[in-house]
């Protein structure tokens, strides 16, 4: 599931970026997506 969040963040960054998509913000958004996915997964496991 966290990988899915990272892919979604990467795709959205790719769609909305007008410049070269392989800049640091692209990689940062993928990593943030994975982190958010991990947090959501951890929260759902605690319930």
CB 33 within 8 A of CB 25: no
pLDDT digits (tens), the chain, 47 positions: 677 777 777 777 777 766 665 667 777 777 888 888 888 888 887 76
pLDDT at res. 6: 75
pLDDT at res. 18: 65
Total domains in the chain come to 1
Return the closest-CA partner of residue 38 out of 8, 1, 10. 1
Return the closest-CA partner of residue 46 out of 31, 5, 38. 38
CA atoms within 13 A on the CB side of 13: 20
For residue 18, the enclosing domain spans 2-46
**Quick count: other Cβ atoms within 10 Å of Cβ 29?**
20
């Amino acid at each position: 599931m966290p990988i899915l969040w990272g892919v979604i963040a990467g795709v959205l960054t790719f769609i909305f970026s007008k410049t070269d998509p392989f800049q640091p913000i692209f990689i940062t958004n993928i990593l943030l997506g994975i982190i958010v996915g991990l947090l959501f997964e951890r929260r759902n496991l605690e319930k």
